[in-house]
Amino acid sequence: MDITPVLDQIDADLDNALDRLLELLRIQSISTDPAYADACQDAANWLVKDLASMGIAAEKRETPGHPMVVGHVEGEGPHVLFYGHYDVQPVDPLDLWDSPPFEPAIEDYNGAKVIRGRGSSDDKGQLMTFVEACRAWKSQHGTLPCKITFFFEGEEESGSPSLVPFMQENAEELKSDIALICDTGLFQSKTPAIITTLRGLLGQEVKIRAADKDLHSGMFGGVAMNPIRVLTKIVAGLHDDIGRVTLPGFYDGVPELDPEIAAQWEALNFDHDAFLGDVDLSVPAGEKGRSPLEMIWSQPTCEPNGIIGGYTGDGFKTVLPAEASLKISFRLVGNQDPIKIRESFQSYVRSMLPEDCSAEFINYGASGGSAMSTDHPAFEQARRALSDEWPEAAAFAGCGGSIPIAGHFKDILGTDAMLIGFAKDDDQIHSPNEKYDVESFHKGIRSWARILHAMTQ
């Protein structure tokens, strides 16, 4: 099927596509707050109705939480599953928004047209790029270029508690040749990227306790153990002088970067001076001998996220606290085992405890890293298609964050995932005044149309 009339239709229908997106953005589908449960239902219903308007068999599937939306289109060639999420982050603090977050509008911003509103970039605008590409295909050819499954969830911003059980229960229905995810961005806001590595995430909290109450530092200082001293010594010992993590077994399963991928990353000409300069820093603080992109995309981390202990209010209070606590996260790569790393961390903490001190551990999420094999032909087909649409040639890239759905596709469905998104660095996702460039939306639609075309030739 010819791609030219599809691209022409996308251009001609852009205003209508924007109107549809604005309509979806008005739905206050905040998944973390039970007060918005009905709005999440409304968003799912809206998507079902929109897919049905194109003749796509779609339905809302209830879960213990917010519903899933699943739609199917039969066709020849590869079977593609497209995933997105319709839920959004809370809008607090509301007083920092320049306009109401659920009254979206097209605005001028730094010389460009942008879509302003909660969910415009994460993830409703991105989700709709694929839907609109399919609408244009259907309009011009009466059908879609291949077999497609649409899979939208409503709990991504609240930890996706219903996702894994739903995928396990419906695995046969959801299996496909390749999964497509649109929840990432352009590299440095200009280069289209296909994410091939994602870091996993391990969360841990530890509370160190000594005396049964806070103590007067004049009476007990120097003789009673201070949990803050214990905790800071623990934290200080987690890294050596060159920035490597010292936990036994921490680097088990960490692969070296493939030379071809390393060359692509080098060609991106990442400006780490500007990257750090934007937050008023200048010197990379990670492991010596690694490039900044390696440290962000392909190396694991161990980062204290919060320390609490003693008196932290205004003024001064001379106490030895009874308790000090640490929240710490580990970003994981390759085949690192999050459970073994958790056990190693807890053993390390216990080994550092003096007499009269105890430790309590609170476990948070534990997910491993994901690496997608670019041997699947769809990866190179998509890279060429993106390069045809954007001024900059597309690249295989990494992502320092964690997107567990990619690993779930592999582990539960046996399906590789391709992560392609069109967000920009200044989209302010999860923050007040979230936006999505009209260019990202428009060229995102065109990009998916090109990718579907490339994958079905």
Condensed to tens digits (0 to 9), the pLDDT of residues 385-422 reads 999 999 999 999 998 887 888 889 989 999 999 999 99
pLDDT range class, residue 226, cuts 50, 70, 90? very high
Pick the CATH number of 200-254+300-367 from 3.40.109.10, 3.30.70.360, 3.30.70.1380, 2.60.40.1120: 3.30.70.360
Domain edges within the chain: 4-198+370-455, 200-254+300-367
Distances in Å between the Cα of 322 and the Cα atoms of 218, 226, 229, 330, 349 are 15, 7, 12, 27, 17
Contact 403, 198 (CB under 8 A): yes
- Confidence label for 446 from pLDDT (cuts 50, 70 and 90): very high
pLDDT at 372 over 90: no
Q: What is the mean pLDDT of residues 226-230?
A: 97
pLDDT of residue 373: 83
pLDDT number for residue 260: 86
Phi-psi category of 355—alpha, beta or left, where left has phi over 0 and alpha has psi -120 to 50?
beta
Superfamily of domain 4-198+370-455: Zn peptidases (3.40.630.10)
Tokens 């996308």, located at residue: 10
Q: What is the pLDDT of residue 289?
A: 84
Q: Is it the case that residue 1 has pLDDT exceeding 90?
A: no
Chain length of the chain? 457
What pLDDT sits at residue 159?
86
CB 294 within 8 A of CB 398: no
Q: What does the alpha-carbon distance between residue 418 and residue 194 come to, in Å, rounded to a whole number? A: 7
Do the Cβ atoms of 84 and 130 come closer than 8 Å? yes
Nearest to 234 by CA among 354, 57, 371: 354
Q: What does the pLDDT read at residue 253? A: 96
The CA distance from 125 to 114, in Å, is 11
Using the structure block, give the residue that is written with the tokens 């934007």: 278
Indicate if 200-254+300-367 has the same CATH topology as 4-198+370-455.
no
Query: In the predicted model, what is the mean pLDDT of residues 107-132?
Result: 97
Q: What is the pLDDT of residue 401?
A: 82
Q: Is the pLDDT of residue 264 over 90?
A: no
At residue 239, does pLDDT exceed 90? yes
Rounded to an integer, what distance in angstroms lies between the CA atom of residue 121 and that of residue 321? 44
Q: What mean pLDDT, rounded, does the chain reach?
A: 95
The DSSP H or E segment spanning 267 is: helix 259-267
Asked whether residue 240 carries a pLDDT value surpassing 90, the answer given is yes
CA separation for the pair 150, 56 (Å, rounded): 9
Q: How confident is the model at residue 374 (pLDDT cuts 50, 70, 90)?
A: confident
pLDDT band with cut points at 50, 70 and 90 for residue 233:
very high
Query: Could you tell me the CA-to-CA distances from 346 to 211, 251, 252, 297, 352 in Å, in that order?
Result: 21, 16, 17, 26, 10
Q: What is the pLDDT of residues 124-164, one digit of tens each?
A: 999 999 999 999 999 999 999 999 999 999 999 998 999 99
Phi-psi region of 334 (alpha: psi -120 to 50; beta: other; left: phi over 0): left
pLDDT of residue 257: 87
- Residue 287's pLDDT band, with cuts at 50, 70 and 90, is confident
Mean pLDDT of 293-315: 94
User: In this predicted structure, what is the pLDDT of residue 167?
Assistant: 98
Q: Average pLDDT for residues 430-446, to the nearest whole number?
A: 97
Least confidently predicted of 46-50, 149-153, 268-272, 415-419? 268-272
381 Cβ neighbours under 8 A, 6+ residues apart: 451, 454, 455
Among left, alpha and beta (phi > 0; psi -120 to 50; other), residue 253 is: left
Element (H, E) at 264: helix 259-267
- Specify burial of residue 6 (Cβ count, 10 A radius: 0-12, 13-18, 19+): buried
What does each C-alpha distance from 370 to 329, 401, 405, 418, 441 come to in angstroms? 17, 11, 10, 11, 27
pLDDT of residue 152: 98
The residue assigned the tokens 């779930």 is 408
Helix (H, G, I), strand (E, B) or coil at 205: strand
Quick check: 249 pLDDT over 90? yes
CB-neighbour burial class of residue 421 (10 A; exposed 0-12, middle 13-18, buried 19+): buried
- Distance between CA atoms of residues 373 and 384, nearest Å: 17
For residues 320 and 211, give the distance between their C-alpha atoms in angstroms, rounded to a whole number: 9
DSSP secondary structure code for residue 187 in this structure: B
| Contacts (Cβ under 8 Å, ≥6 apart) of 170 | 61, 70
